[in-house]
Amino acid sequence: MKFSFAVVITVVIAVVAATSVAADETLAPINLAATSSKTPIVDNATGLISYIVDLAPHLQDGFPPTVTGEDLQRFNSRHSPQAINMVKWYEGQYGFQHTDMTSWVGNSFTAYLTQAQVDALRTDANVVLVTENTFVDSSVTPPPWSDTMHSSSLPPYTETSSWGRNAVNGKVSSNTYRIYTIDTGVGLHEDLTNVIARVNASCGTNNSGCPGHQTVGCYPHATHIAGIIAAAYGNKGAAGVDAGAKIFSVDVDNIDASPAICSFPGVPTSSLASGMDYVMWDLILNGGYQVGLVNISQNSTDFAPGGTLNAKMLTLATPYVGGYYYAGAFIAQSAGNDYLNACSYAFGYSSKQPSSSDGIMVVGAVDSQGRAVSPSNGGFTNHGWAQDQAGSNFGSCIDVWAPGKDIYSTWGPMVPYDEGNSNTWQVSGHTYGDPNSNINYVYLSGTSMSAPHIVGVAAYLAETQGLATPAAIEAAVRNLFFTTGQVDKKGLLLHYVQLP
């Protein structure tokens, strides 16, 4: 027998009204966050608490089996039309808008509610439980995080796992995927014997540099990044997140000058484009039909929608099968260090919402307390090793947050960097020099340090799960998301990751 929508709603209202409990009967129980030493989730704008309202089983059966196109836009498509209409009825009856719902594991909806709405719902005979919404404990080590020491095979027989490595629960690599650093060239270093190639992106195919384009720059930015990703474990000064993974150094320096222009900051947009181009070419020709992983710790308005680097980054990430086979590349990019909206300085879309399946993750920086790095907690201070900056960029274009303040990793000379003083440069050029001159480690801060933490996590997940596409790697990273309730300047929750 078919019912019109209006008739069914009238029937349901009558059933609900007829079964409402009297004032002196037991109300639906309410679980308060305080009873489990939790803090309820509160809407910053309205001050309303988020509640989960559990409903009677099979309650949806009395509702109509059709929904509108607008309903499908607003509700998850896994829910039946009857379940959607059930929650719509409660919205209309009690005057709220749901933020989530379940229908397969039991009927429930989640909404920010006033105390009057909570009281009214508890008298509804089809409401079986009302629970203050809170954050679930994760099987992770929460902040604060700290550096730890462990034994190594070489003098001084101890090694540091930085607080960043500990925060993401770093591992040891099986060395099966290529990780590309598009940067200023990874120097020779006693903890980075796993660098499998050093090239300059502007020098054509496999190369050892070419006139005007060195393969290792004099600023050790890339060396620090490579150490965060993959410095050897149990070796010397510091261990990487995916310790021992294969690093492919792609230098985007474009000038050998006298005095040298050490190029950070100062990498041309065209050189970054060439870096991405080189990586895609190398993966197609030499990557063995395997997805790659890429770290880009550089920022520019050209990465924003409509910019020349935006389209190129998306092409680099996207698999292609046609006249050639390309498995694609997972990319982690720094969010930027100016305490501004990341949507203007990192990869994103015109919607200002990240895709969860494009294989590109923009990474913001947190400190060892799990807080977004900002002027209020000291910003990025680098003690001469790099420029001090305001704090992590923020906003909806950030996919994930990772350690980025005072991160201990591989470096060049143990003196503060000075572009005008060659004694402060790492050994650079085409022949790289003596690795024993690059044996140092320093603390550095910035979202440049955050992105490689995510690349290391992604590489380990790809290795252990045999992941074959950038989208699969991103999904694996997202499956590890947890939050401690910290928010950025826009009030958006910070999502962290930690390897199991």
Per-residue pLDDT of the chain (500 residues; tens, 9 = 90+): 333 333 333 334 333 433 343 333 579 999 998 876 667 888 888 999 999 999 999 999 999 999 998 888 888 778 999 999 999 999 999 999 998 889 988 999 999 999 999 999 999 999 999 999 876 544 678 899 999 999 888 888 889 999 999 999 999 999 999 999 999 899 889 899 999 999 998 887 778 788 778 888 888 899 999 999 999 999 989 999 999 999 999 998 765 544 445 544 457 788 889 899 999 999 999 888 999 999 999 999 999 999 999 999 999 999 999 989 999 999 999 999 999 999 999 999 999 999 999 999 999 999 999 999 999 999 999 888 888 999 999 999 999 999 999 999 999 877 777 777 777 777 665 544 555 556 789 999 999 999 999 999 999 999 999 999 999 999 999 999 999 999 999 999 999 999 99
Residues 108 and 256 in one domain: no
Q: Decide if 496 is inside a domain.
A: no
CATH number for the domain that contains residue 445:
3.40.50.200
Largest CA distance in the chain: 89
Helix (H) or strand (E) holding 198: strand 195-200
Helix (H) or strand (E) holding 13: helix 5-19
Q: Decide if 140 is inside a domain.
A: no
Residues 267 and 341 in one domain: yes
> What is residue 214's predicted lDDT score, i.e. its pLDDT?
83
Residues 124 and 171 in one domain: no
Phi, psi of 364 (to 5 degrees): -90, 170
Q: How many CB atoms lie within 10 A of CB 104?
A: 9
Distance CA 11, CA 5 (A): 10
> What is residue 436's predicted lDDT score, i.e. its pLDDT?
53
> What is residue 88's predicted lDDT score, i.e. its pLDDT?
96
150 alpha-carbon distance from chain centroid? 28
Alpha helices in 194-342 (DSSP H): 221-230, 269-286, 308-317
Q: Decide if 285 is inside a domain.
A: yes
Residues 453 and 367 in one domain: yes
CA angle 383, 384, 385 (to 5 degrees): 95
Residues 158 and 80 in one domain: no
Alpha helices in 231-367 (DSSP H): 269-286, 308-317
Contact 372, 405 (CB under 8 A): no
Phi, psi of 410 (to 5 degrees): -65, 150
Among 384, 451, 379, which residue's Cα sits nearest to residue 413? 384
Range of the domain at 76: 5-132
Distance CA 386, CA 379 (A): 13
Q: Where does a domain end: 85, 108, 132? A: 132
> What is residue 375's predicted lDDT score, i.e. its pLDDT?
97
Q: Decide if 483 is inside a domain.
A: no
Residues 330 and 471 in one domain: yes
- Burial-class residue 115 by CB neighbours within 10 Å (0-12, 13-18, 19+): exposed
487: DSSP letter: B
Q: Decide if 127 is inside a domain.
A: yes
Hey, is 360 helix, strand or coil?
A: strand
> What is residue 385's predicted lDDT score, i.e. its pLDDT?
81
CA angle 229, 233, 237 (to 5 degrees): 85
Residues 436 and 362 in one domain: yes
Distance CA 361, CA 317 (A): 11
Contact 99, 52 (CB under 8 A): no
Q: Where does a domain end: 84, 108, 132? A: 132
Q: Where does a domain end: 132, 163, 183? A: 132
As for how many domains the chain has, the answer is: 2
Residues 287 and 412 in one domain: yes
CATH number for the domain that contains residue 119:
3.30.70.80
Hey, is 14 helix, strand or coil?
A: helix
Distant-in-sequence, close-in-space partners of 281: CB < 8 Å, separation ≥ 6: 205
Q: Decide if 392 is inside a domain.
A: yes
Distance CA 456, CA 482 (A): 18
Residues 452 and 396 in one domain: yes
User: In this structure, what token pair is assigned to residue 40?
Assistant: 């309820």
Residues 112 and 207 in one domain: no
370: DSSP letter: S
Residues 326 and 457 in one domain: yes
Residues 210 and 108 in one domain: no
Q: Decide if 460 is inside a domain.
A: yes
Contact 295, 330 (CB under 8 A): no
Q: Decide if 497 is inside a domain.
A: no
Question: Cis peptide before 265, with omega less than 30 degrees from 0?
Answer: yes
User: In this structure, what token pair is assigned to residue 193?
Assistant: 């014997």
Distance CA 147, CA 145 (A): 7
